Structure 1
Amino acid sequence: MTTSFPPAAAAGLAPLLMPAVAELVPPAWAGYRPLIVEALDGFLGRLSGARLDAIVAAQLELPEDATAAARVVALARACPSLHKLGQVLARDRRLDAQLRVRLQTLESLPPETPAEVWLPLIRAEIGAVPHLEIAPQALAEASVAIVVPFARHGGIAPDARGVFKVLKPGIEAQLAEELAIWAELGDWLEARSAELGLPELPYRETLSGVQGLLLNEIRPETEQAHLAAACRRHAEDPNVLIPQPLEYCTPRLTAMTRIDGDKITEATGHRPRLARALYAALLAQPFWQPQAQTMFHADPHAGNLRVTADGRLAILDWSLVAVLDREARIALVRVVLAALAQDGALFAHALAALGRPVREDALRALSATALAEVRTGRLPGFDWLLSVLDRAATMRALEFPESLVLLRKALFTLAGVVAELDADCGAVPLLLKHAFDARSFDPRGFGPHVFAGDLGTLWLSGLPIAARWWAGYWQDWSGGRLPFLPVPG
Structure 2
Amino acid sequence: MSDDGRGIPRGSVSRTARLASLPLGAAGRATLGIGKRLSGRPADAVTAELQQRTAEQLFAVLGQLKGGAMKLGQTLSVFEAAVPDEVAAPYREALVKLQEEAPPMPVRTVHAVLAQQLGGRWRDRFKDFDDAPAAAASIGQVHRATWRDGRDVAVKIQYPGAATALMADLNQLARFARVFAALFPGMDVKPLIAELKARVVEELDYGLEADAQRQFAAAYVGDEQIVVPRVVASAPKVIVSEWLEGTPLSRVISSGSREERDRAGYLLAVLHFSGPERAGLLHADPHPGNFRLLDDGRLGVIDFGATARLPDGHPEPIGRLLRWALAGRADEVLADLRVEGFVRTGVEVDAEAVLNYLRPLLEPIETDSFHFTRAWMQEQAARIADPRNEASRLGRQLNLPPAYLLIHRVTIGSIGVLCQLDSAGDFRSVLAEWLPGFVEK
**When the two structures are superposed, what TM-score results if normalisation uses the length of structure 2?**
0.71
Q: Does 1:15 align with 2:24?
A: yes
Question: How far 1:263 moved relative to its partner?
Answer: 0.8
Q: 1:85 aligns with which of 64, 68, 72?
A: 72
Counterparts of 1:173 and 1:200 in 2: how far apart (Å)? 27
8 Å contact from structure 1 (residues 202, 393) kept in 2: no
Change (3 A) 1:250 1:16: same
Superposed displacement of residue 360, structure 1: 4.1
* Conservation of the 8 A alpha-carbon contact between 1:111 and 1:138: no
Q: Which stretch shows the higher mean deviation, 324-333 or 388-397?
A: 388-397
Note the C-alpha offset of 1:430: 2.3
Please say which of residues 323-332 and 230-239 is displaced more in the overlay: 323-332
- Structure 2 unmatched ranges of 5 or more: 1-15, 33-49, 367-371, 386-391
Q: Per-residue deviation at 1:174?
A: 1.2
Residue 314 of structure 1, CA deviation = 0.8
The equivalent residue for 2:130 is: 135
C-alpha separation between the residues in 2 aligned to 1:88 and 1:314?
A: 20
Q: Would the aligned equivalents of 1:111 and 1:146 in 2 still touch at CA under 8 Å? A: no
Q: CA deviation at 1:300?
A: 1.6
**1:89 match: secondary structure:** helix
CA deviations on 1:249-285 (whole Å, 9 max, x unpaired) are 11221111111222124244431222222211x2231
Tell me the alpha carbon deviations over residues 214-255 of structure 1, each in whole angstroms, 9 at most, x when there is no partner: 4322110111111011101211312322121113x1122111
C-alpha displacement at 1:380, in angstroms?
A: 7.6
Alignment check: 8 A CA contact 2:52 2:91 kept:
no
Worse-matched range after superposition: 404-413 or 330-339: 404-413
Q: Give the Å deviation of 1:290.
A: 7.1
Q: SS of the residue aligned with 2:60? A: helix
Given candidates 97, 112, 116, the residue that maps to 1:105 is 97
- 1:421 is matched with 421
User: Secondary structure of the residue that 1:243 maps to in structure 2?
Assistant: coil
Counterparts of 1:206-221 in structure 2 under 5 Å? 207-221=193-207
Q: Give me the identity figure in percent.
A: 19
1:428 and 1:21 mapped to 2: Cα distance? 46
Q: Which has the larger radius of gyration?
A: 1
CA RMSD of aligned residues (A): 4.2
Confirm or deny: 8 A CA contact 1:21 1:68 kept in the other structure. Answer: no
Could you say if the C-alpha distance between residues 335 and 109 of structure 1 is closer, same or farther in structure 2, counting changes exceeding 3 Å? same
Partner of 2:53: 67
Alignment CA distance shift 1:327-1:165 (3 Å): closer
TM-aligned CA deviation for residue 79 of structure 1: 5.3
Please list the CA deviations of residues 386-408 of structure 1 after superposition, one character each: whole Å capped at 9, or x if unmatched.
Answer: 9899979961522432x632332
* Correspondence 1:368 to 2:352: yes
Flag structure 1 segments of 5+ consecutive residues without an equivalent. Answer: 1-7, 24-63, 441-445, 453-489
User: 2: distance between equivalents of 1:355 and 1:9?
Assistant: 43
Q: Separation in 2 of the partners of 1:360 and 1:21?
A: 46
- Give the alignment of 1:197-346 within 5 angstroms: 207-247=193-233, 249-267=234-252, 268-269=256-257, 270-271=259-260, 272-280=262-270, 282-286=271-275, 289=277, 294-324=280-310, 326=312, 329-346=315-332
Shift of 1:19: 5.7
Q: Confirm whether residue 408 of structure 1 aligns to residue 408 of structure 2.
A: yes
Contact 1:111/1:139 (<8 A) preserved: no
In structure 2, what is the Cα distance between the partners aligned to 1:345 and 1:238? 41
Moved more, 124-133 or 320-329: 320-329
Measured at CA, do residues 284 and 215 of structure 1 come closer, stay the same or move farther in structure 2, by a change above 3 Å? same
Deviations 1:425-475 (A, max 9, x none): 35323222x24xxxx9xxxxx559x622xxxxxxxxxxxxxxxxxxxxxxx
- Does the 8 A contact of 1:111 with 1:140 survive in 2? no
Q: Single out whichever of 220-229 and 9-18 deviates more from structure 2.
A: 9-18
**Whole-angstrom distance in 1 between the partners of 2:104 and 2:413:** 26
Instruction: Mark the CA change 1:325 to 1:207 in structure 2 (over 3 Å): closer, same or farther.
Output: farther
Shift of 1:110: 5.5
Match of 1:430 in 2: 430
* One-letter identity of the residue aligned with 1:260: E
SS class of match (1:451): coil
Amino acid at match of 2:99: E
Q: What is the letter of the counterpart of residue 237 of structure 2?
A: R
**Which residue is 1:456 aligned to?**
none
Partner Cα separation in structure 1 for residue 326 and residue 96 of structure 2: 38
